[in-house]
Chains A and B, each alone.
Chain A
Amino acid sequence: MRKLRLIFYYTTTGIALGFLICMLLFFSVAFEMMISLGLVMYIFTGFGLMVAISKKRLDWKYSFFYIEAAAILLALFTGRMQQFFYITKETLELTNPVSQIRPIFIVCAVIVNLINLYIVLTVGKYQKEYTKEERKALKEQELKLKDLRTKLDEEQIARIKRNRKIGRIVAIVGIAIFMICYFTIPTLRHGLNHAFSIISRLDTTVVIEYLRSYGKLAVAVSFTLMVLQSIAAPIPAFLITLSNAAIFGWWQGAILSWSSAMAGAALCFYIARVLGRDVVEKLTSKGAMESVDVFFERYGKYTILICRLLPFVSFDFVSYAAGLTNMGFWAFFIATGVGQLPATIVYSYVGGTLTGGAQKLFVGLLTLFALSIVIGIAKKVYNDKHKASKNEVID
């Protein structure tokens, strides 16, 4: 019964959050035109359900009412109350007029409010309720994020510093050699400029023709282009992914695209780590930034996985940013590999970007998956903070 109460409460909170986000979308015509309101509702309903599954007790017990109040007040002050019915209509793909949907919606809203009110008022029967002082005492006992930092001895720190110094020299020498070659070898310069101008036209057919013109060398050219675009060019990588699939077949193309993107990501990570980490380390040695640094050290791999799953987050930016944090290379590499797998396979198999309902479903599933990892991280952070606590754990 307790789980059922949690599922109902958090799922309806997710729905309320979906309504609130949809209401916010109405403030921008561009966003409202771009994003399916139904998809937003499904994502946040799923999010609410997953929160319920992951939790053992009802925390933030007024969250439903706060979110609901925010959505209603927003709608009320902007004259958008009727949009609640249209959001519902769009989500459930109804063709009935809103005049028919309205009374059913109101009845359902009242019932949900009454049930949630009952759940909140009777919460003491199902879980221990803490007073403000008790909560404060528990909070004081839990570990801070910065206490969770992996302790390294002097020798390990010295080795890391030494390796980073060598890496810095290698990176600077590598970049210098590349720049010298680029400016002194005209064929290389023209070849690269031509390749980037071809990709910049954002036409898959042209990229396919260009790669095919290299015959057997197409694999190497495609690989090099993917790596170079990761480092320097803001060109969508899916163009190369689609071209690889068209030239080499879907699964061979997927392997080539996946491995070359991995190489590109690793290179970006390495450049940022050896050239930028020392500066970041000085900035994050104290205060709130230290907690952020420790967060990435411990949970960076999950964060990378989330970023890789979300198609609208820049692939290259994430690689560089990860290099600046304290997270380990292999954790980054594996998370990148796993995270970019679904999109690479789907784009290669479909042979184009998804459109219509399939696109919505795919983006929705990835977002939902990413949100579930967010819940996972929150739970893990909570558990880690309480692991060393000698007192009773809240859950």
Chain B
Amino acid sequence: MKFNKKVIIALVLCVSLIALAGCSNNNGGNSAEPQKQEQKAETPDQVGDVSLANPMKVDKEAGTIIVLAQVNGKYFTEATRHASVFKDGSNGAKSIFTAYANQNDFYNALIELGAEPGDNMTPDNATTTKVEGTPISVKVTWNGADREYDINEVVKDSNGTKIDFRFGGNQQRAKEKNTGCLACLDSCPVGIISNASYTYGSVEQTKEVKFTGNQDILPEDGTYVAVIYKVEK
């Protein structure tokens, strides 16, 4: 019996070592594909005009808000309902793009650009209502990327439905709940912008859709990216 237990322990050790070492060959990102390295940044966190020192840039002329974020490789294989969440919010670790700008500044920036909040979502009607408000297009780029990628290229919808981001608003609830949500992947009564293609609960309750980061396009976990939000008028 004692011998058996030692064998079990030895087996566990072997399996764990093999499995973990095997895992080390899987980078969890698209590092195998050669990417353009034309853009040389001074530091890894400097992506275009945003960096850790200046994580959000509002461009009134172009009608864009650029937010610095980091790729979260956890959601290359696991499903999530958050596209981008501020790192210090209660949902800070639950999104594909961990943002370095907070949801309140993001809301104010959208207002500054003339976007109109839908403010039609409440906790009571969330499961039956789709978010309204000014449409927002989202693109993502990073150092070494050959172009700006549309959100539909970097976030996979299991049904193949296009993501339709709207400026939901929800300023008060976003402040009160402090989830940090900038962009939710189903209509949300808290997130500043959210996806009008699905009602709230489509990911967690009814499970009619799964959203994951696109490992084939996105760079490896931890890479700094610039998420570009454009107000569509």
A288 close to B (CB within 8 Å): no
Q: B205 near A117 (CB under 8 angstroms)?
A: no
Question: Which of chain A's residues 71-96 have a Cβ closer than 8 Å to chain B?
Answer: 72-73, 75-76, 79-86, 90, 95-96
Interface residues of chain B: helix, strand, loop or mixed (majority): loop
Q: B5 near A62 (CB under 8 angstroms)?
A: yes
In the complex, chain A residues whose CB is within 8 Å of the CB of B5: 62
* Nearest CB on A from B179, distance (A): 8
B111 close to A (CB within 8 Å): no
Q: B207 near A29 (CB under 8 angstroms)?
A: yes
Q: Quick one: which of B16, B19, B78, B88 contacts A32, CB cutoff 8 A?
A: B78
In the complex, residue of chain B having the shortest beta-carbon distance to the beta carbon of A69? B12
A36 close to B (CB within 8 Å): yes
* Nearest CB on A from B43, distance (A): 13
A33-B180 Cα distance, complex, nearest whole Å = 13
In the complex, chain B residues whose CB is within 8 Å of the CB of A80: 77
Q: B176 near A352 (CB under 8 angstroms)?
A: yes
Given A65-B9, A81-B23, A357-B88, verify A29-B204 contact (CB < 8 Å).
yes
B41 close to A (CB within 8 Å): no
* Nearest CB on A from B201, distance (A): 9
Q: B91 near A81 (CB under 8 angstroms)?
A: no
Q: B16 near A30 (CB under 8 angstroms)?
A: no
A299 close to B (CB within 8 Å): no
Q: A69 near B8 (CB under 8 angstroms)?
A: yes
A35-B180 Cα distance, complex, nearest whole Å = 15
B93 close to A (CB within 8 Å): yes
In the complex, residue of chain B having the shortest beta-carbon distance to the beta carbon of A28? B204
Q: A355 near B73 (CB under 8 angstroms)?
A: no
A303-B100 Cα distance, complex, nearest whole Å = 43
Q: Quick one: which of A65, A79, A81, A356 contacts B178, CB cutoff 8 A?
A: A356
A65-B14 Cα distance, complex, nearest whole Å = 12
A57 close to B (CB within 8 Å): no
How many of chain A's residues have a CB under 8 angstroms from any CB in B?
A: 47
Q: B89 near A109 (CB under 8 angstroms)?
A: no
Q: A76 near B24 (CB under 8 angstroms)?
A: no
* Nearest CB on A from B62, distance (A): 29
Interface contact tally, CB-CB below 8 A: 122
A284 close to B (CB within 8 Å): no
Q: A26 near B78 (CB under 8 angstroms)?
A: yes
In the complex, chain A residues whose CB is within 8 Å of the CB of B9: 62, 65, 117, 120
Q: Quick one: which of A37, A72, A113 contacts B19, CB cutoff 8 A?
A: A72
A137 close to B (CB within 8 Å): no
A26-B78 Cα distance, complex, nearest whole Å = 7
Given A98-B222, A355-B176, verify A72-B12 contact (CB < 8 Å).
yes
Instruction: Encode B83-123 as 1/0 by CB contact (under 8 A) with A.
Output: 00000111101100000000000000000000000000001
A86-B221 Cα distance, complex, nearest whole Å = 10
Q: B88 near A356 (CB under 8 angstroms)?
A: yes
A391 close to B (CB within 8 Å): no
Q: Which of the listed residues B24, B123, B223 has the most CB atoms from chain A within 10 Å of its own CB? A: B24
A105-B81 Cα distance, complex, nearest whole Å = 28
In the complex, residue of chain B having the shortest beta-carbon distance to the beta carbon of A62? B5
Question: Which of chain A's residues 319-378 have a Cβ closer than 8 Å to chain B?
Answer: 352, 355-357, 359-360
A68-B176 Cα distance, complex, nearest whole Å = 39
B134 close to A (CB within 8 Å): no
* Nearest CB on B from A38, distance (A): 7
In the complex, residue of chain B having the shortest beta-carbon distance to the beta carbon of A29? B79
Q: Quick one: which of A29, A68, A100 contacts B12, CB cutoff 8 A?
A: A68
* Nearest CB on B from A377, distance (A): 29
Q: Quick one: which of A36, A83, A102, A110 contacts B93, CB cutoff 8 A?
A: A36
In the complex, chain A residues whose CB is within 8 Å of the CB of B88: 356-357
Q: A65 near B221 (CB under 8 angstroms)?
A: no
Q: Quick one: which of A72, A79, A95 contacts B70, CB cutoff 8 A?
A: A95
A109-B205 Cα distance, complex, nearest whole Å = 36
B32 close to A (CB within 8 Å): no
A36-B79 Cα distance, complex, nearest whole Å = 15
A159-B222 Cα distance, complex, nearest whole Å = 70
A97 close to B (CB within 8 Å): yes
In the complex, chain A residues whose CB is within 8 Å of the CB of B180: 356
* Nearest CB on B from A82, distance (A): 5
A99 close to B (CB within 8 Å): yes
In the complex, chain B residues whose CB is within 8 Å of the CB of A86: 72-74, 221
Q: What are 19 A-B interface contacts by the 8 Å CB criterion?
A: A26-B78, A29-B80, A29-B210, A33-B82, A33-B94, A36-B93, A37-B93, A68-B12, A69-B8, A79-B77, A81-B23, A83-B78, A95-B70, A96-B222, A102-B24, A105-B20, A355-B176, A355-B179, A356-B179
Apart from A82-B77, A97-B223: 11 A-B pairs, beta carbons within 8 A: A29-B203, A29-B207, A69-B11, A84-B23, A86-B74, A96-B222, A97-B220, A103-B24, A113-B12, A355-B178, A356-B88
5 nearest A-B residue pairs (beta carbon): A97-B222, A30-B204, A86-B74, A355-B178, A356-B178
